[in-house]
Amino acid sequence: MFPVTLEGTAAPTLMWAEERSIEPAALAQLRTMADLPWVHGVRVMPDVHVGKGATVGSVIAMRQAVAPAAVGVDIGCGMTAVRTDVTADDLPDSLRSLRARIERAVPVGFAMHENSLDTGALSVSGAGVHKGWTRFWQEFRDLHPGVQSRESKAMKQIGTLGGGNHFIEVCLSDAEEVWLMLHSGSRNIGKELAERHIAVARTLQHNQRLVDRDLAVFLAGTPEMDAYRHDLSWAQEYAARNRAVMLALIMQAFRDALPTRPVRFDDPISCHHNYVSEEVVDGETMLVTRKGAIRAGKGDLGLIPGSMGTGSYVVRGLGSELSFNSASHGAGRTMSRTKAKKRFTVDDLRRQTSGVESRKDAGVIDEIPAAYKDIEQVIDAQADLVEVVAHLRQVVCVKG
């Protein structure tokens, strides 16, 4: 059944979604992107929906160029999860108290730590933590001059969740194993870097005649491209470190909730879903952007979450070259946050998140499950891209 071809585009565009199921604005974005002269091909995931400049759920291979909007403003946003040796029967009687412990450990929404954390005292591991913390922060001074005053804030935001669709969850597998899972990105510093570089790209001469200047690109071999890729790489690592620190804090909170027994954790699974990678596509080295998509090379472990209360999946990539070795990053929205707030009530939220210890107030109505696609259908649509390793259902969900 999939993929299907989006007709009328300059670069081949293959979709793991029916054209009739995709909103017109998203289709227009896909066509505009595919018509850029630097684009080799576009791949569209089943969670596709309209985004700022470039479509969420898109994978774009470009020759000697990159569009910052095709990465997104939350550079390096992604997922981390870890399986514990705890089962459902071992969980404390009060999941509300467990949620409270996690919320005390990890600031959410606009909140941050009062002081930067002593990361050396935490057991921090995970993808993206490749160098010492001192060296990592020293590199802050090499970022875009416009963010130099943000260093203190960025340090205090390491190990914080943020808001929107970011979350921390305690989940159960079908075998009743307890998993810890979280979704977050590069916080305000990644957003500022992205917006500043997009503003620079819009001024470049080769972008002046674009149909949508939100799709402005940087070209290889230019100082603007070098500066963007430098800052992009740092922000992607910041996002990975943010998740690794949060995971360490959550693991300790989880241990504290089970004082009568030791808790063991597997190695964490971690994946970006807003990022750039240099990869070989159709025999040629290209820059591949994934915005709302994960890498699903053969054997790659990945995480595809649903909305709060609907379950998530641990998957293993099948290495589909047709999809540029990619898969979806989640369920994908079916309506805007504004529309969801107008359509649904707190009572609707309570019904749809029944059985999940979570916020059930007006502040998170825009995250109601009905505002998202059916995660089961999203997984079924990409059966040729990933195989399911584990199905998880949430019992605790923390949101900002």
Q: Could you tell me which residues are annotated as the binding site for Mn(2+)? A: 74, 166, 183, 273
Clarify whether 272 is annotated catalytic.
no
Amino acid at 281: V
Candidates 49, 197, 329, 391; catalytic one: 329
User: In 231-336, where do the E strands start and end?
Assistant: 269-272, 274-281, 284-291, 293-295, 301-305, 312-317, 326-328
Provide the CA 136 distance to its chain's centre, in angstroms: 22
CA separation for the pair 163, 131 (Å, rounded): 28
For residue 218, count CB atoms less than 10 angstroms from its CB and return exposed for 0-12, middle for 13-18, buried for 19 or more. buried
Give, for 84, the enclosing helix (H) or strand (E): strand 78-87
Instruction: Specify the DSSP class assigned to residue 160.
Output: -
DSSP 106: S
Peptide bond between residue 3 and the one before it cis (omega within 30 degrees of 0): yes
Write out the two tokens for 375: 């995660």
d(CA 320, CA 3): 11
Output the six-digit token pair for 156.
Answer: 């205090």
**Which residues are annotated binding-site positions?**
74, 165-169, 183, 273-274, 305-308, 312, 329-332, 399
Helices 223-257 and 95-105, packing angle to 10 deg: 140
315/98 Cα distance (integer angstroms): 27
Question: 252: buried, middle or exposed (CB in 10 Å: 19+, 13-18, 0-12)?
Answer: middle
Provide DSSP, 228-255: HHHHHHHHHHHHHHHHHHHHHHHHHHHH
CA distances from 58 to 43, 77, 90 (A): 6, 15, 40
Q: How far is CA 320 from CA 1, 7, 34, 231, 314, in A?
A: 15, 21, 20, 30, 17
> Kindly report the CA angle at 182 between 383 and 123, in degrees rounded to 5?
125
- Which residues belong to the active site? 329
